[in-house]
A and B are shown apart, each in its own frame.
Chain A
Amino acid sequence: MILGLDLPYWASTLIKVGIALVAVPTATALIVQTFLFKTMAFMQSRLGPMEAGPHGSLQLMADGAKFVQKELIVPDHADRKVFVLAPVIVLISTFLLYVVVPIGPGAVGEALDTGIFFALAVSSISVIGILAAGWSSANKYSLIGGLRAAGQLIAYELPLVLAVVGVVMLAGTMSLQGIVHAQSNFHLFGSSIALPFFIPQIVGFVLFLIAAQAELTQPPFDMPVAESELVAGYQTEYSGLLFLFFYIGEFGTAFALAAIASTLFLGGWWIPLYHPSGAWGDVFGFGVLFVKTMLVSFLIFWIRFTYPRLREDQLQAFAWKVLIPVALGNLVVTAVFKVVLH
């Protein structure tokens, strides 16, 4: 069902793919323009891009055009097929993330019953792409960066999942749409109230943001691409369109993870005391989700611009010795909470 039309499966799928092809680059552009260009510039007391368009608003189109024009340079000793395929794998993982995020009461790419499980699963696919990029580049910096990225992404996958499990326990469902409904209609002592999950799951929310930051390989967890030592990590040898793919992968995923975070913890498309429905509800819900997503993205990028990076061993120790125990403790508390209060 798309906007009330009952289309055959192939047609609706085709439309969804078309929407995704537009939505992901647009989201990336928004994130990059708003935060990476402008917010970062203001935080660093400079102007950022100002020349292309009013206040540099067309800078990204100029950059995109530049990337497309550039020659694709494949190093001599690189494993050519893997080298070209690696950014595509990263990009696929980003696109798949957008499929399950509900943007309105009736608008979701694919309303999976195991939506959040699917999202977490596909977000890990990018590890393969990054490792492949690091290995196939025939560059020592890339290799070190790729290995660091693989170690880091696997380590931070656990706190990410554990942070989500708390929400799933409260909501009693893995469907993202179901989680939104659970927040608008939470059962407490037999009565039902509106309760965004960041209130009972504040620990989970913080854990999710930290782990998401690490999944995005952003400071303070950007050891894999640490530009002052590894040049650009696994991206070192990439140029032109393939580099653009990594770029879209990184910031598209940032937007998607922020959207998932706001769905899980801030109520997604729903706001208290107002229950729109139908096509208008979808449009309204999209607006609400967008504002929430931008707020969460702002948090993520604010941290990115402020903190220095952790060393690789400190970063691993932080995941295994701090985040995972805290996440497990949070689960125990949530379970007790669930049993006692339900």
Chain B
Amino acid sequence: MSSTVSDRQRAAYIATQAADARVNVEIEAEGMTLNIGPQHPATHGTLRIVVRLDGEQVLWAEPIPGYMHRGYEKLAEVRTYPQITTLVNRIDWLGSFCNEVPFILAAEKLLGVEAPPRAQYIRTVLFELGRIANLILFLGDMGVQLGAVTPVFYAFRDREYVLNLIESATGGRFHPNYDRIGGLKEDLPKGWIDETKGALRHVRDFCDEMETLLLGNEIFAKRCRGIGVIPAHIALEYGLSGANARASGIDFDLRRDEPSPLAWKDADWKVWTHTDGDAFARYWCRLQEVRESTKIVEQLLGGLPSGSIQAKVPRIIKVSAGEAWVHTENPLGEMGYYIVSQGGLGPFRCKIRTPSFSNVSIVPWLLRGVFVPDVITILASLYFILGDIDR
């Protein structure tokens, strides 16, 4: 197997054969180019991956994002601050509320206001519910990618409880659009806190079930252990964040490490890391992350401060010239907004740092020399969302 393919040769392949959408059987001495995606059952979304195969072994692989580019950074430039939350909701569509929060925090930073404590608590609670709604789907979907169809149905079943909570609080199941500059759209409905307890019990039961059904399964362990190992220094070089970095032993969680107006510091929880850095470790880390999230939600709702949910802000929000960078620990990793204002109604420039984009950048490094089935395991365990890559 000749693994020394120069960058130029790779580029030539992509330009000539691979860019051609028609896939024919070709027999060549040095292998076969396989086009995975953009329409493919394994790529949840439209990520396209071109792999060069030698038998079942991958010589090189190249992810080609951009099939779902919607231009949110550019669109944000022609909108006012309150309008932008509607856009950014759709970046990571599984945990939408988590996309709003860092943007609103950045806008508040520019404006120089801070939401009252009750609003911050509710924000944190919904942030964590968004994380649960997002990661629960990963925990089930990983099974589907490896051939076990049942877990994903349990995931959707128990995710429903969380989505119902989000819906009854915000009015939107998928795109809450609930965060406002200086506060929230409205207060929590009556009885919401009691309902949450039941939903969290379902989530915890789901985690226990996945621990026995998947993590405890020998075949699952066989397929995941030692597959797609990312050493800590490589993870840092590629800018991985979230559970992908934590599974490689990097103890990094912005909720704990970054001073934030949100209420994470008031809850007692733990950042789990794993030393293996393989697909199994990434799954395990996310499972623990969901469990910690349920703890955070429970504690914060127990000590929910009373008071207003909206700080005083002007009716027409106009910020002075300046820059703000706010990043938070989103379900997929570090998400940040860099907003440049020139004193208008909307941002002059809005750079969105999404975790999936960096997490996917390691794919060519990671896929070299693995087998085709492991390609799917690795992609599933990296856990990206296409809206989050292409935004």
Residues of A within 8 A of B (CB): 40, 43-46, 77, 138-141, 143-144, 219-220, 222-223, 226-231, 305-314
Contact = CB atoms under 8 A, between A and B. Distances in A.
Contact of B147 (A143, A222, A231, A312): A222
A156 to B, nearest CB: 16
B210 to A, nearest CB: 12
A108 to B, nearest CB: 37
Given A45-B153, A305-B149, A311-B371, A229 B376 contact: yes
A308 B42 contact: no
Given A144-B56, A229-B373, A307-B219, A139 B25 contact: yes
Given A77-B24, A139-B23, A305 B222 contact: no
A311 B145 CA distance: 12
Interface string B329-370: 000000000000000000000000000000000000000000
A308 B375 contact: no
A314 B225 CA distance: 13
A228 B144 contact: yes
Contacts of B153: 44-46
A219 B149 CA distance: 9
Contacts of B371: 311-313
A228 B222 contact: no
A312 B219 contact: no
Contact of B25 (A140, A229, A313): A140
B148 A308 contact: yes
Interface in B37-81: 40-42, 56
Given A40-B149, A307-B219, A309-B147, 8 more contacts: A44-B153, A44-B154, A45-B153, A77-B25, A219-B149, A220-B219, A305-B150, A306-B213
B174 interface: no
17 contacts: A139-B25, A140-B23, A140-B25, A144-B56, A219-B147, A219-B148, A220-B219, A226-B147, A227-B41, A228-B147, A229-B36, A306-B150, A309-B146, A309-B148, A309-B219, A311-B222, A314-B223
B374 interface: yes
Contacts of B374: 311
Contact of A307 (B56, B145, B147): B147
Most A Cβ at <10 Å: residue of B25, B214, B374, B376: B25
Nearest to B26: A140
B154 to A, nearest CB: 7
A229 B375 contact: yes
Contacts of A312: 56, 371, 373
B223 A308 contact: yes
A298 B42 CA distance: 28
B220 interface: yes
Contact of B373 (A223, A231, A306): A223
Interface string B260-297: 00000000000000000000000000000000000000
Contact of A228 (B32, B42, B56, B217): B42
A45 B154 contact: yes
Given A228-B376, A229-B373, A312-B371, A307 B148 contact: yes
Contacts of A226: 147, 373, 376
A229 to B, nearest CB: 5
Given A228-B145, A229-B373, A308 B40 contact: no
Nearest to B374: A311
A231 B222 contact: no
A229 B372 contact: yes
A229 B49 CA distance: 12
B34 interface: yes
